Structure 1
């Protein structure tokens, strides 16, 4: 069986749902997405009942939204060390990352003051130095070294929040950044 990414699986499920428009009379519909067939991703089967497409779509969406999208094994391993302390939540991480805070320095009231809202692109420090992309999908070597990650959490949380980030906040932020 070929290794299939969650994105390819969702594409195949979507294609299956679209091509199985006549659920009562249409026979099994082979799906080929990015070189993978329905056999490769184990969604081939008899005619679907009316509720199966909804279940398949819900399962695919739940899988994609609850797991970090870290593609680098080192990113995944690092995230697991944070998750062992506090389960990360990407939605909370996103809210924290984009929020304006009053506790830190006045110049960077939020993470996006330097990192910008386009996390797949570069940011810029107050001194004008370029910051690499924060999205794990755009920076596969980012978030692989715990000491480096902790150094930046300590500095940036102090600047933005006026304190160190809690273990929960760190895990939430990583869950968010590794999901994009």
Structure 2
């Protein structure tokens, strides 16, 4: 069936995205897909999965080479915290979720944009997830998607991103999707060390 759909996409000069190949197994997707079939499987994406699919479409329409050609900044990958080599990395047990975009940030026309999925760290209020450079810190909150359904992160003026409130997942390990999260810089609040 997929071969036929790809052939039709070429014939009609449109894009075919095989979301079933992307999702792999909907039996364990209750946190990002709706529950159907008596709770044994999932069918349609919830809000956070729609963001992921939208990201795929965006990257098909605007491939990396086109973005670079027109001056869109490259995201800076967070990586794991190390006091010497990576002071802005993920902390307190948070890591990238395998199979998804790496957690990263970039600055675009005065807006800090985030992407990627964090996985497996401490979810207590006040826990530091990662720290951005102090030059792009501000005082604001970010709404994010989580395995539990949603949450709020606190962005501090020194660039520290902390847990404000995360809905706990019913089962499994917590993850946080940074896809679509962004905030405007407020230069009046920036502090220098």
TM-score (norm 1): 0.27
Larger proportion of helix: 1
Greater relative contact order (Cα < 8 A, sep 6+): 1
Which of the pair has more CA radius of gyration? Answer: 1
